[in-house]
Amino acid sequence: MRIGLSAFLIAAAPIAALAQSEGPITLLVGYSAGGSADYAARVMAPELSTRLGRSVVVENATGASGMIALQKLINGKANGSTLYYGGFDTVAVPMLNKSVGVDWKSSTLPVGRTALTSMAIAVPAASPYKTLADLVAAAKAEPDTLTYGSPGIGSAQHFVGEMISDRAGVTFIHAPYRGGTQVSNDLLAGILDSAVLTTSTALPFAADGKIRVLAVTSAERSAALPDVPTLSETDGFAGLALPLWQGLFLKAGTDDAFAKAVSSAIIDALGKDDVKKRLSDAGFAAAPLPMGEFKGFIDQQAEIYRKIIDDASITVE
């Protein structure tokens, strides 16, 4: 539901006026500057600042798969001075590693989804596999021989690999790395038979003809790769999808009126064509959801993550 600008101004004006005396809002990003999450956060920050009448400053609090930034939000005050830019890791990492000791449900207030992107199942350009069905057929013919790379155990890319293996009834050898760069390098070199990459990572290599993208994990085809089918378009994978998502969180207990103003600001900003384009340029699709619907979406995603974790017995220490 798109909230009209006039309604937003009426609701947000007193909050913005109060906020002016409280200083800037820190927008925490759990990953380094220049990455995809950082890019999207920096697209949103000035838009939020304009609508809330308060400076929004991005801070990169890196480490522990985004958990350093999340913990910083939770340890702060519930006064609207801090926002957290989260996604898959916000929900999945605490499931995988109990020692993390955080719970998004009890400790955060999801205020709005911002964007969706897909992951890409890819093979080297010289690979004999032209489709995902070809790759699965080869894995069935030669069990426990074909590899797929991911940025690490418990990553979203790992989840995709295990989800595909489970649905197809085959076993690929998982090759976990300590980041996405080496995965890409080894895929290009033909060391890996396949890999699960973020779409933004796959795009330049696909454009240069260095890799072949067999399928994307979103429910709909990627605007950046319109000729590549989704998982669900492949025989045996109907209904299967696992997008990457991003959104903004406040600390639980933050004033409800302020939270609603932030949610309205997110929805309004994502209605702008230039914001949509800037996100699209990095492989994201603007996908606004206001706070109540956003929480429902996360609940649904959490069920999918839990099933994959349990079925594949994935743990991270």
Average the pLDDT over 23-39 and give the result: 92
Distance CA 222, CA 199 (A): 8
Any domain includes 65: yes
Whether 111 and 256 map to the same domain: the answer is yes
Assess whether 125 and 229 both reside in one domain: yes
Mean pLDDT for the chain overall: 91
What percentage of the chain has pLDDT greater than the value 90?
Answer: 81
Q: Please report whether residue 238 resides in a domain.
A: no
- Phi, psi (deg, nearest 5) at residue 64: 55, 40
Instruction: For residues 111 and 19, state if they share a domain.
Output: yes
Report yes or no on 134 lying in a domain: yes
Give a yes or no: residue 239 inside a domain: no
| Per-residue pLDDT at 257 | 96
- Give the C-alpha separation, 38 to 98, whole Å: 26
Q: What is the pLDDT of residue 286?
A: 96
Q: What is the pLDDT of residues 255-296, one digit of tens each?
A: 999 999 999 999 999 999 999 999 988 889 999 999 999 999
Dig out the tokens for 309 from the structure.
């974790």
Q: Is residue 135 part of a domain?
A: yes
- In this structure, are 85 and 130 located in the same domain? no
- Interval 73-122: pLDDT, tens: 999 999 999 999 999 999 999 999 988 888 899 999 999 999 999 999 99
pLDDT at 155 over 70: yes
Contact 268, 255 (CB under 8 A): no
* pLDDT of 190: 97
Q: Are residues 253 and 109 in the same domain?
A: yes
Residue-number span of the structural domain to which 251 is assigned: 5-116+245-312
Query: Any idea what the CATH number is for the domain that residue 110 is in?
Result: 3.40.190.150
What CATH number is given to the structural domain containing 168? Answer: 3.40.190.10
Residue 317 lies in a domain: no
Same domain? 96 vs 42: yes
User: What confidence category does residue 7 fall into, taking pLDDT thresholds of 50, 70 and 90?
Assistant: very low
Q: Is residue 159 in some structural domain? A: yes
Predicted TM-score (pTM) above 0.85:
yes
Looking at residue 23, its pLDDT comes to 85
Residue where one domain finishes, among candidates 186, 210, 233: 233
- Does the pLDDT of residue 167 top 80, yes or no? yes
**Region label for 208, one of left (φ > 0), alpha (ψ between -120 and 50) or beta (otherwise):** alpha
Q: Are 202 and 160 in contact (CB under 8 A)?
A: no
* 75 is a domain residue: yes
For the residues 27-44, what does the mean pLDDT come to?
A: 93
Nearest to 156 by CA among 95, 106, 108: 95
- Tell me the C-alpha distance between 103 and 307, whole Å: 18
**Do 124 and 184 fall into the same domain?**
yes
Q: Could you identify the residue written with the tokens 């080894």? A: 186
The reply to whether 129 and 158 lie within a common domain is yes
* pLDDT for res 16: 43
**Do residues 104 and 90 lie in contact, with contact meaning Cβ atoms separated by under 8 Å?**
yes
Query: What's the domain count of the chain?
Result: 2
pLDDT of residue 281: 84
Q: What local confidence, expressed as pLDDT, does residue 98 receive?
A: 85
